[in-house]
Structure 1
């Protein structure tokens, strides 16, 4: 099973989701992340993931079109509203699911206290972890209810 986490810039939330999925669910599915744009890897996201024992420092911000064309995604999880609204076309077998998470860079724009900023990133990191722990079962349940 292949799951793609899609966000606007593939810099923070989708990267966290890919990192958690590879750490916690590698035996159940293969995780990828991409964006509808590229914004570079968010250093605070890298830092808070490292605190939790997940190294995403080697990840790169990439577009969906940068992924190998031979990958067939079973699920695409849009983790932000913009990515959901501008989600590229995927083959009919691919199920697109939206699970929105707060955007740490946006929420922390006016903050000056680095600890408060990192706490926002940590909260979103932990919410994404909790969601990833439900995979892939939560996807199958959604499919059964609506399929």
Structure 2
């Protein structure tokens, strides 16, 4: 089972949504968590965007990347272009991707669009890791 880390700057929106989709779509296929370069709290707009499609992330918490060890993960996905700021040991995992998704916290009206993009990308990632 592949171990996946979704990372973003604050672990408040994009990485939280990716974690939730991966847990749902990759159940029994991958192990997943998310973190941020710095911890914060889950954005209420992210909670609402996910609730709108029947996924509850209100119990998820923001976690700092420094609380994890890179060797514990096979796959590292940056959602915000923050890959350039990750410590080098996080960039050398079996799979590293930087999706560079727009920050919906800057424009809350794009939360549904970003959410849907994340769902598609997570589905594609799980398919790739499962084959």
Fold agreement, TM-score > 0.5: yes
Matches within 5 A, 1:120-135: 120-135=110-125
* Segment of structure 1 superposing worse, 4-13 or 24-33: 24-33
SS at match of 2:54: coil
Q: Equivalent residue for 2:16?
A: 15
Q: Which residue of 2 aligns with 1:85?
A: 84
Provide the residue aligned with 2:38 in structure 1.
37
The alignment of Structure 1 onto Structure 2 pairs a total of residues equal to: 129
> What are the equivalent positions in structure 2 for 1:49-64 lying under 5 Å apart?
49-64=50-65
Which ranges of structure 2 fall in alignment gaps of 5 or more residues?
Answer: none
Q: Distance in 1 between matches of 2:50 and 2:12?
A: 13
TM-score (normalizing by structure 2): 0.87
Show the counterpart of 1:145: none
Q: 1:14 & 1:133 partners in 2: Cα distance?
A: 14
CA distance in 1, matches of 2:93, 2:20: 25
Report the CA distance shift for 1:63/1:94 in structure 2 as closer, same or farther (over 3 A): farther
Deviations 1:55-89 (A, max 9, x none): 1111111111224x4972111000011x2111122
Structure 2 CA distance, aligned partners of 1:17 and 1:52?
14
**1:24 CA drift (Å):** 1.1
Match of 2:95 in 1: 95
Measure, in 2, the Cα distance between the counterparts of 1:126 and 1:62.
Answer: 23
Larger Rg, first or second structure (1 or 2): 1
The answer on whether the counterparts of 2:80 and 2:99 sit within 8 Å (CA) in structure 1 is: yes
